[in-house]
Structure formats: structure tokens, C-alpha cells
């Protein structure tokens, strides 16, 4: 065991505060990473405040982790001390079910082990995330990152990046497609970058008129203010694919209506209320609704390699760990440009 430090929530209503805890002794397949940067995902806030139910405390959030390898177990060949390395949302899975064997550990039939707010499959201990100085993770769930990219900008790729890359790839978004992105926060800005990079014509739907210029810089061809019913009515029947990244309950029917025949609405946002869908919107014309959760390890590495090749990183605002509650407050006001990343030197 080694003594680690981090920031933890002790309950749904207490602010995150300094916390000391133990990291396990590395096992033969483990990689010990000294954490340099950790992105701040809206899922961290949802879970720290128990908005989805079932949160386990104390909780050190953080699943967009980038750093340098500090030590490796005896079986580890893919990493050596000093290598850049990253950990995302998953740290283990059953590894033998049909989905795991297909590289879709995110959909493990037994349920994947999350980086935090979950228990180890090996010894039942509580997993703790990246708002901390180091992490010990099985090599299968550690990703290689290019030294060519800014490590702080890479961190959000581990969740916001893969969560948007995976559905855009799965539904084959490419040149000639008209794609909508709903919400311009951490996930939304990565969705704009990827959809644009894949050659689609991209429209951002936003509640924040002030984000229009940024959206165009990030890859949007058009920006529609979703609070404007007239502008929304003009979108009917136009889109092949719409990815909804909104974190709070909202009316999704205008987006279903915006799909063309056989178009697909995909929710990656996880509001704490059920979606309410008008059945006529689904049947005339025939339309699909779907969802998607992060991505498996092969696709996460594919996405990181794609970003290295194309020079894609997240647009970030670096914060000291002491400002985490302020960052959460700004996130709740949609005031994120476009991902907070914690500089772990400040811990």
C-alpha cells in the first residue's frame, strides 16, 4: 500500500476537500501513474452529488487522467517508467463475456468497474479516481498517449473524447451527412471537432447565444439557438444524426423532429429525469432513438491515435484543485470553455 492524497466528497452535500487514502501495492499487471492532469467531467458532479443514486463515499472523482508512469508490475511490457500514460472511465471488466471479448468492456455483461464510485473485482476495495496524485491501474485499461500533444488538452479525450467519437463512428458519420450536436460543453465541443473532422456538415444547438463564434471555430457550420422556436421549426426533417450532450432534463422532441427519415437521435447526456418522447415524432417519418456510453479499450486507443494524427485536443481551462467547487458551480451555469482540467501539481 502507498499513501495517496486527493480531493474527495464525503457525502452528497459536502464540498470536495483534501483527503488521504491508500493505493494498492502494484500487482504484476499494474501500472502506477503519477497524475499530472485530470479533466472535470459533468459525470463527476452528478456522482459526487449523488444525482444518479447509489453513490459510494468517500469519493475521489476524476476519470480523465493523464500522467507519467512511475512504476510497473513484472508482467507489464507496454509501458516503462517515464512513459506518458492515460486512464479513462474503466479500470476493469469481466474480460470473458461476449462484449468484453469484442473490446466493448464499456458494455461488459457483468458491468464494467468504473475508475471511481465502484468496487474492485479483485478485493472489493473502493476504487478512487483522478483528483489525486497517483493511480494504480491494470495495464489493459491504461492507454498510450502521444508526446506530440499537450497532455492537459489530452486528458478530456479519455471521457469527453471517446464518448463522442464512439457514436459518431458507430453510426458512420462522414462527408455528406448532416449532423446536429446539442449542447456546447465538454462533450459537445469534442463532438463538434470530431463530426467536422469526419467531414460532416455540423449544426450546433445551444441555449447560449454567446457561444456562437466559438462553435464556428470548433467546427460548426451553423448554430441554432434552441430557445428560439422559429429557428427550431426550420430544422424539421433535416438531420441524419443528432448527438445530445445535455446534462439536464430538457425537451428532446424538437431534436427527434429535426431528423430525416431513418435518422438517429443519440443521447450521451445523462439527465436525472426520464426522456419524454412524443410517439408521432418517432413514427412519421420512421426515426431511431439511441444512446451510447463511453467506448471500449481498443476504440479509446484508436481515438487517441486519431487525435495524435490530426492534432486534436480539448479546449481547456486549467484550474488548481482548490477551485474544484467553483468549477462545478460554473459547469452548472453552462459556463465551461470547454473543459476544466485540474493541474495536479497544485494538490
Q: How far is the CB of 48 from ligand NAP (least distance, A)?
A: 12
Restricting to residues 22-41, which ones interact with Zn ion according to CB under 5 A?
41
Residue 100 binding partner per list ligand NAP, Zn ion, none, with a CB distance cut-off of 5 to 8 Å that depends on partner kind: Zn ion
Q: What residues have CB less than 8 Å from 16, skipping those under 6 apart?
A: 7, 8, 9, 48, 61, 131, 324, 325
In this structure, are residues 153 and 143 in contact, taking their beta carbons and an 8 Å threshold? no
Q: How far is the CB of 217 from Zn ion (least distance, A)?
A: 23
Does residue 269 touch ligand NAP according to CB under 6 A?
A: yes
Among 65, 90, 159, 303, interactor with ligand NAP by CB under 6 A: 159
Among 135, 268, 289, 313, interactor with ligand NAP by CB under 6 A: 268
Does residue 87 touch Zn ion according to CB under 5 A?
A: no
Of residues 112 and 179, the one with the C-beta less far from Zn ion:
112
Among 61, 84, 114, 183, interactor with ligand NAP by CB under 6 A: 183
Residue 93 binding partner per list Zn ion, ligand NAP, none, with a CB distance cut-off of 5 to 8 Å that depends on partner kind: Zn ion
Among 99, 334, 337, 343, interactor with ligand NAP by CB under 6 A: 334
Number of neighbours of residue 119 by Cβ within 10 angstroms: 13
Q: How far is the CB of 42 from ligand NAP (least distance, A)?
A: 3
Does residue 293 touch Zn ion according to CB under 5 A?
A: no
Residue 39 binding partner per list ligand NAP, Zn ion, none, with a CB distance cut-off of 5 to 8 Å that depends on partner kind: none
Q: How far is the CB of 94 from Zn ion (least distance, A)?
A: 3
In this structure, are residues 232 and 254 in contact, taking their beta carbons and an 8 Å threshold? yes
Q: What residues have CB less than 8 Å from 23, skipping those under 6 apart?
A: 1, 2, 3, 4, 32, 128, 134, 135, 136
Q: How far is the CB of 339 from ligand NAP (least distance, A)?
A: 7
Residues β-bridged to residue 222: 203
Q: How many CA atoms lie within 13 A of 192 on its CB side?
A: 28
Among 12, 71, 94, 332, interactor with Zn ion by CB under 5 A: 94
Residue 211 binding partner per list Zn ion, ligand NAP, none, with a CB distance cut-off of 5 to 8 Å that depends on partner kind: ligand NAP
- CA pair distance 235, 268, nearest whole angstrom: 21
φ, ψ of residue 76 in degrees (nearest 5): -85, 120
Residues near ligand NAP (CB under 6 A), total: 31
Q: How far is the CB of 42 from Zn ion (least distance, A)?
A: 7
Task: Lay out the site mask for Zn ion across 140-179 (x = CB under 5 A, - = otherwise).
Answer: -------------------x--------------------
In this structure, are residues 130 and 152 in contact, taking their beta carbons and an 8 Å threshold? no
Does residue 294 touch ligand NAP according to CB under 6 A?
A: yes
Residues engaged in binding ligand NAP (CB under 6 A): 41-43, 46, 159-160, 163, 183-188, 206-208, 211, 245-248, 250, 268-270, 292-294, 331, 334, 336
Residues engaged in binding Zn ion (CB under 5 A): 41, 43, 93-94, 97, 100, 108, 159
Amino acid at each position: 500500500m502507498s499513501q495517496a492524497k486527493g480531493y474527495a466528497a464525503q457525502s452528497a452535500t459536502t464540498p470536495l476537500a483534501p483527503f488521504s487514502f491508500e493505493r494498492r501495492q502494484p500487482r504484476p499487471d499494474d501500472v502506477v501513474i503519477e497524475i499530472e492532469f485530470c479533466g472535470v467531467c459533468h459525470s463527476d458532479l452528478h456522482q459526487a452529488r449523488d444525482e444518479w443514486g447509489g453513490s459510494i463515499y468517500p469519493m475521489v472523482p476524476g476519470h480523465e487522467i493523464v500522467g507519467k508512469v512511475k512504476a510497473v508490475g513484472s508482467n507489464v511490457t507496454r509501458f516503462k517508467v517515464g512513459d506518458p500514460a492515460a486512464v479513462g472511465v474503466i479500470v476493469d471488466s469481466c474480460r470473458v463475456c461476449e462484449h468484453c471479448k469484442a473490446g466493448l468492456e464499456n458494455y461488459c455483461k457483468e458491468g464494467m468497474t468504473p475508475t471511481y464510485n465502484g468496487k474492485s473485482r479483485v478485493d472489493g476495495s473502493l476504487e478512487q479516481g483522478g483528483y489525486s496524485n497517483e493511480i494504480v491501474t491494470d495495464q489493459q485499461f491504461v492507454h498510450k498517449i502521444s508526446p506530440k500533444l499537450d497532455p492537459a488538452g489530452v486528458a478530456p479525450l479519455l471521457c469527453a473524447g471517446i464518448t463522442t467519437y464512439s457514436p459518431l463512428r458507430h453510426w458512420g458519420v462522414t462527408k455528406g451527412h448532416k449532423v446536429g450536436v446539442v449542447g456546447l460543453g465538454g462533450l459537445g465541443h469534442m463532438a463538434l471537432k470530431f463530426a467536422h473532422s469526419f467531414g460532416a456538415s455540423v449544426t450546433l444547438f445551444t441555449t447560449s447565444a454567446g457561444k456562437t463564434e466559438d462553435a464556428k471555430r470548433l467546427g460548426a457550420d451553423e448554430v441554432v439557438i434552441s430557445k428560439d422556436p422559429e429557428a427550431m421549426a426550420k430544422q424539421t426533417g433535416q438531420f441524419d444524426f443528432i448527438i445530445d450532450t445535455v446534462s439536464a432534463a430538457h425537451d428532446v422532441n424538437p431534436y427527434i423532429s429535426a431528423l430525416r427519415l431513418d435518422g438517429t437521435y443519440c443521447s450521451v447526456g445523462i439527465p436525472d429525469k426520464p426522456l419524454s418522447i412524443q410517439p408521432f415524432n418517432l413514427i412519421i417519418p420512421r426515426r431511431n432513438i439511441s444512446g451510447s456510453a463511453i467506448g471500449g479499450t481498443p476504440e479509446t486507443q484508436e481515438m487517441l491515435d486519431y487525435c495524435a494524427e490530426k492534432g486534436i485536443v480539448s479546449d481547456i481551462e486549467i484550474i488548481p484543485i482548490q477551485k474544484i467547487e467553483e468549477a462545478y458551480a460554473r459547469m452548472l451555469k453552462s459556463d465551461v470553455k470547454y473543459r476544466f482540467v485540474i493541474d495536479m501539481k497544485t494538490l
